[in-house]
Chains A and B, each alone.
Chain A
Amino acid sequence: MSRAFVPLVIAGMLLFAAAPLVVAGAPFEQTMGLVQKIFYYHVPSAMLMFVSAFVCGIASAAYLFRRSAAADRVAVAAGELVVLFGLIVLVTGPLWARKAWGVWWEWDARLTSSLLLWMIFVAYLLVRRFGGPGSEKLAGAMALFGMANVPFVYVSVNYWRTLHPKTSVVMALEPGMRAAFWFCVAAFAILYVLLLTLRKRLEDRQAAVEQLYLATED
């Protein structure tokens, strides 16, 4: 356990516990009212989904081209987190949309491409699990394509007419909302780093166990 770990856990938990209070203190959005508060969890989760997709892609590239086993372990951790945070985005989004747009789902550019990004990483996990030996490389290629998909998802909302708010919204928040929003981003970011570390540690442990199995085989 590294030195920074425990303080980081405490900081993360505090931030996360305080987040609802901070969010409650933020001003109400004029047209959407209460339901807009979902924004404070929806957007940081989406940001982390993208970040995790990049981490997974870069780690997979390191695994494919440098044959770094440690990079592969980071990749699988990041891949799982893409699916986790993506699930959060895809559930909180429609809950917000039901009130704001009147429908649960819209097949517009942003929602469709986000769903596809999520599915790419679900396929990533499936192939790692069921692909048999050598599936790490296969999955690595999947992750690279997934990473290439992220910029497309991000700009889709600016170039196509969609119901989904544009990316400029985040920078144009009013001060009360801005504080709450970045607080939540920080909380989620710390949480992400913790989860990634934990998951990678789990993979390290798994690799150690497998090595020992091989050593004791005879």
Chain B
Amino acid sequence: MKQFLRVAWVVMRKDLTVEMRSREILYTTVFFAASCVLVFAFALVREGRPLEDASAGILWISIAFAGTLGLGRTFERERHTETLRALMLAPSDRPAIYVGKLLGILALMAIVEAVLVPMVGLLFDAPIFARPHWLAALLAAGTLGFASVGTLFAAMLVRARSRDVLLPVLLYPITIPVIIAGVRGTAALFQAAPDEPMARFWAALLVFFDVVFVTLSLWTFEPLMTE
């Protein structure tokens, strides 16, 4: 178990170190997410102001799009430098490598969300501080669900054809329930009177999704990555 965690930690550190040198993926993904929010805000305008109930949806859509982009770019870098093959050749537990990559993606998405949430709060006058711990719980659970499936598929697609378009094609039908749950929970929190029981229900559902997705991903990562 300790070995497992060590490998995961090392893989994550490697990813973050490489990323911190140029910060290319970080900056471009954050900017892309911000533009997403703006595009949706402008598209869903009535009488000069964006639709208020749209804030939760826009937040989660931007997270989903930015996440897909970040996943694609991260693994493109792996493919380019052939490090994924090197990782697979290493005598370590495959699921540990998966967890390491997942943690790296989670870190990236956490930074993106740290920028998006205040932005949404500002542009839509959304009460992000009304129930901050519930909001954080929803975001954490939802991001984990999205990223767990995303990391698996992005890793699988590294050697496939048409990988850029196939990632969203494969990812979205599976993760849309996660997004729906996230949006509903967040919308419940952003109401004038935050509906905590509702948010709790959706958070619980998200945790359920997380358990299923992470388990399935851990289980299938090894046979998928071996030739």
Contact = CB atoms under 8 A, between A and B. Distances in A.
Contacts of B173: 116, 119-120, 122-123
Given A112-B180, A116-B177, A127-B169, A148 B212 contact: yes
Nearest to B225: A137
B152 A130 contact: no
B160 A132 contact: yes
Interface stretch (B13-21, B33-41, B216-224): B216-224
Contacts of A113: 177
Nearest to B208: A152
Interface in A93-140: 112-113, 116, 119-120, 122-123, 126-127, 130-132, 134-135, 137-138, 140
Interface residues of B, number: 23
Interface residues of A, number: 27
Given A138-B157, A148-B212, A131 B162 contact: yes
Interface string A126-169: 11001110110110111011101100100000000000000000
B161 A116 contact: no
Given A112-B180, A116-B176, A132-B162, A138 B224 contact: yes
Given A64-B224, A134-B160, 14 more contacts: A64-B220, A127-B166, A130-B161, A130-B162, A131-B160, A131-B161, A131-B166, A132-B160, A137-B224, A138-B170, A141-B156, A141-B224, A148-B216, A149-B174
Interface of A: 64-65, 112-113, 116, 119-120, 122-123, 126-127, 130-132, 134-135, 137-138, 140-142, 144-146, 148-149, 152
13 contacts: A123-B169, A123-B173, A135-B160, A137-B156, A137-B223, A138-B224, A141-B156, A141-B224, A144-B216, A144-B220, A146-B174, A148-B216, A152-B177
